Amino acid sequence: MGGRYASWPKWLVGEHHISVHPLGGCPMDADPAKGVVDPTGQVHHYRRLYVADASIMPRAIGVNPSLTIAATAELISTNIVAALTR
Protein backbone atom coordinates (compact mmCIF):
# COMPACT_ATOMS: atom_id res chain seq x y z
CA MET A 1 0.00 0.00 0.00
CA GLY A 2 3.01 2.32 -0.22
CA GLY A 3 3.71 2.68 3.48
CA ARG A 4 7.24 3.18 4.78
CA TYR A 5 8.87 3.12 8.20
CA ALA A 6 9.56 6.44 9.88
CA SER A 7 11.54 6.58 13.12
CA TRP A 8 10.24 8.53 16.12
CA PRO A 9 10.85 12.25 15.48
CA LYS A 10 12.97 13.02 18.55
CA TRP A 11 13.68 16.47 17.12
CA LEU A 12 9.95 17.19 17.43
CA VAL A 13 9.19 16.09 21.00
CA GLY A 14 12.51 15.06 22.50
CA GLU A 15 12.40 11.79 24.43
CA HIS A 16 8.72 12.23 25.38
CA HIS A 17 6.18 10.07 23.64
CA ILE A 18 2.82 11.42 22.62
CA SER A 19 -0.42 9.80 21.56
CA VAL A 20 -3.24 11.17 19.52
CA HIS A 21 -6.85 10.78 20.56
CA PRO A 22 -9.14 10.73 17.55
CA LEU A 23 -12.21 12.79 18.33
CA GLY A 24 -15.34 13.59 16.41
CA GLY A 25 -16.99 11.70 13.60
CA CYS A 26 -20.07 10.93 15.70
CA PRO A 27 -20.67 14.22 17.53
CA MET A 28 -22.99 14.67 20.48
CA ASP A 29 -25.72 17.31 20.20
CA ALA A 30 -29.32 17.56 21.37
CA ASP A 31 -30.28 18.60 17.83
CA PRO A 32 -30.31 15.64 15.39
CA ALA A 33 -29.35 18.03 12.57
CA LYS A 34 -26.09 18.85 14.37
CA GLY A 35 -25.13 15.58 16.06
CA VAL A 36 -25.39 11.82 15.78
CA VAL A 37 -26.07 11.14 19.46
CA ASP A 38 -28.02 13.03 22.11
CA PRO A 39 -26.49 14.07 25.47
CA THR A 40 -27.28 10.62 26.91
CA GLY A 41 -25.19 8.96 24.19
CA GLN A 42 -28.21 7.46 22.40
CA VAL A 43 -28.16 7.64 18.62
CA HIS A 44 -30.92 9.95 17.39
CA HIS A 45 -33.95 8.02 16.08
CA TYR A 46 -32.51 4.61 17.13
CA ARG A 47 -33.83 3.36 20.44
CA ARG A 48 -31.28 1.55 22.65
CA LEU A 49 -28.31 2.24 20.35
CA TYR A 50 -25.59 4.10 22.25
CA VAL A 51 -22.10 5.39 21.53
CA ALA A 52 -19.74 5.93 24.46
CA ASP A 53 -16.27 6.66 23.11
CA ALA A 54 -14.15 9.59 21.96
CA SER A 55 -15.99 9.84 18.66
CA ILE A 56 -18.87 11.68 20.33
CA MET A 57 -16.69 14.60 21.41
CA PRO A 58 -17.61 17.33 18.95
CA ARG A 59 -14.06 18.71 18.77
CA ALA A 60 -10.68 18.59 20.47
CA ILE A 61 -11.18 19.15 24.20
CA GLY A 62 -7.64 19.81 25.35
CA VAL A 63 -4.42 18.03 26.10
CA ASN A 64 -4.81 14.34 26.96
CA PRO A 65 -8.60 14.11 27.09
CA SER A 66 -8.65 10.52 28.36
CA LEU A 67 -10.23 11.38 31.74
CA THR A 68 -12.96 13.45 30.09
CA ILE A 69 -13.65 10.62 27.66
CA ALA A 70 -13.76 8.08 30.52
CA ALA A 71 -16.08 10.28 32.60
CA THR A 72 -18.40 10.76 29.63
CA ALA A 73 -18.45 7.00 28.98
CA GLU A 74 -19.25 6.38 32.65
CA LEU A 75 -22.12 8.88 32.54
CA ILE A 76 -23.49 7.27 29.39
CA SER A 77 -23.28 3.80 30.95
CA THR A 78 -25.28 5.12 33.91
CA ASN A 79 -27.88 6.48 31.48
CA ILE A 80 -28.07 3.10 29.71
CA VAL A 81 -28.66 1.24 32.99
CA ALA A 82 -31.31 3.78 34.03
CA ALA A 83 -33.06 3.46 30.66
CA LEU A 84 -33.08 -0.33 30.84
CA THR A 85 -34.51 -0.42 34.37
CA ARG A 86 -37.46 1.92 33.72
Q: What is the pLDDT of residues 14-67, one digit of tens each?
A: 666 666 656 778 999 999 999 999 999 999 999 889 999 989 987 777 767 888
Domain that holds residue 85: 21-86
pLDDT band at 12 (very low <50, low <70, confident <90, very high): low
Q: Write down the pLDDT at residue 29.
A: 92
Could you tell me if residue 11 is inside a domain?
no
Could you tell me if residue 2 is inside a domain?
no
Q: Is 47 exposed, middle or buried (0-12, 13-18, 19+ CB in 10 A)?
A: exposed
Could you tell me if residue 64 is inside a domain?
yes
Q: Write down the pLDDT at residue 15.
A: 65
pTM for this entry: 0.68
Could you tell me if residue 3 is inside a domain?
no
Could you tell me if residue 4 is inside a domain?
no
Give the torsion sign (CA, 62, 59, 20, 75). positive
CA distance 62 to 12: 19
Could you tell me if residue 10 is inside a domain?
no
Could you tell me if residue 35 is inside a domain?
yes
3-class secondary structure for 51-79? CCCHHHCCCCCCCCCHHHHHHHHHHHHHH
Active-site residue list: 21
Domain count along the chain: 1
